[in-house]
Amino acid sequence: MKTSSPKHLAQLLDELAPALRRLQGAGAARAPRVVLMARLSDDGPATMRDLARALHVSPQAVTGLVDVLEADGLVTRERHPTDRRKTLIRLNDHAAEQLRDARAQRTQTLAALFDDLSKSDRAAFAKVCRAVLDKLG
């Protein structure tokens, strides 16, 4: 199989995704935790159902994450202002600081992957990534 064939590139993407998740490691920079905090930071308070939809996970998975984040003092639960049946999850200031640190750490870790690549290889990679992201919408 040619290394540039669409099938080979698809296989590489299948290998890349879990490798990137492993690279993210443990602790405060764990992927699901950071993704949930980023969603709240970028879009504001949200219900559990909205978070589950946005993160493409089950409501039970979001509940577990929110429980941990709440125990760590990073989010609060509050009544929805117009629907008493719903609870909003809100990021607090301490979480915003942790999120900035986690994003910076992740960017530094990912950037190190490209240290040994030439400028032209990095440019080609960026071009391909942008094209794929554009196709994904």
Has domain 6-136 been given CATH number 2.60.120.10? no
pLDDT of residue 109: 86
pLDDT of residue 96: 84
Q: What percent of the chain has pLDDT over 90?
A: 58
pLDDT of residue 1: 63
Which string of DSSP letters, residue by residue, matches 17-79? HHHHHHHT-SGGG-HHHHHHHHHHHHH--EEHHHHHHHHTS-HHHHHHHHHHHHHTTSEEEEE
Q: Is the pLDDT of residue 40 over 90?
A: yes
User: Within 10 Å of residue 16's Cβ, how many Cβ atoms?
Assistant: 10
pLDDT of residue 114: 94
Of the pLDDT bands very low, low, confident and very high (cuts 50, 70, 90), residue 25 is low
Of the pLDDT bands very low, low, confident and very high (cuts 50, 70, 90), residue 73 is very high
pTM surpassing 0.75? no
Annotated domain spans of the chain: 6-136
Is 24:106 a contact under the CB 8 Å cutoff? yes
pLDDT of residue 43: 94
pLDDT of residue 45: 96
